[in-house]
Chains A and B, each alone.
Chain A
Amino acid sequence: DGGITQSPKYLFRKEGQNVTLSCEQNLNHDAMYWYRQDPGQGLRLIYYSQIVNDFQKGDIAEGYSVSREKKESFPLTVTSAQKNPTAFYLCASSIGRTGTGELFFGEGSRLTVL
């Protein structure tokens, strides 16, 4: 079945470590997104990519990095520079820009800093 796969589901990180969250989609969508979800807040955009080898910063990009080497893959690295990384991370994709296209989400990855 077509969809978005995020891994791992749960991840624990020690302070000072970088971790990478995987996001793969087989929907043939051009655009992919990373959001962060914190309790009591709306989703916030970290990075987005509309085409392979190109990506743009969202509202809270500091301390995060991404790559888009393949259409299907959009991994997110949470670096040690991110001071408060504990959160639920959601990857999404759409055929075109989210303004007009349906947005499909993965199941999320929960990162906890020990």
Chain B
Amino acid sequence: KNQVEQSPQSLIILEGKNCTLQCNYTVSPFSNLRWYKQDTGRGPVSLTIMTFSENTKSNGRYTATLDADTKQSSLHITASQLSDSASYICVVSPNDYKLSFGAGTTVTVRA
């Protein structure tokens, strides 16, 4: 069964600090891995998408890494801002219509 596990389930950080979110997956075959940001009550918005040949990709203060051998990915948020408070969802694609979604990590940034 294709699975995507995210950790931690939630975390609280102070504004200006960094944090790292983890994603482990068992999806096979593998086409690409995506990270989405979802504000409360809104639809998810894409942050990054990486194929198996890419091991890092940045989008502003967000940097995603991928280790396709160990089937692990991380999302690093640098110099967090209050607007970073959201749920971050890891999504893995096996190259068809059926994406596998993680349950998300809820990040709360406090002033």
Residue ranges of A at the interface with B (Cβ–Cβ < 8 Å): 4, 6, 31, 33, 40-45, 48, 50, 56, 58-59, 88, 90, 92, 97-100, 102-108, 110
Contacts and interface: CB of A to CB of B under 8 A. Distances in A.
Given A41-B103, A42-B89, A99 B41 contact: no
Tell me if B's interface is mostly helix, strand, loop or mixed.
Answer: loop
Nearest to B9: A40
B103 A99 contact: no
Given A41-B103, A99-B93, 13 more contacts: A33-B97, A43-B89, A43-B99, A45-B98, A48-B97, A56-B97, A58-B98, A59-B98, A92-B43, A98-B96, A100-B95, A102-B49, A105-B45
Find the residue from A56, A59, A98 having the highest chain B CB count within 10 A. A98
The bracket for how many chain B residues form the interface is: 20 to 34
Contacts of A59: 98
Contacts of A108: 41-43
7 contacts: A41-B103, A42-B103, A43-B99, A59-B98, A97-B95, A107-B43, A110-B41
A97 B34 CA distance: 15
Interface of B: 4, 31-32, 34, 41-46, 49, 89, 93-104
B99 A103 contact: yes
Nearest to A43: B101
Find the residue from A33, A41, A42, A100 having the highest chain B CB count within 10 A. A42
B95 A99 contact: yes
A106 to B, nearest CB: 5
B22 to A, nearest CB: 15
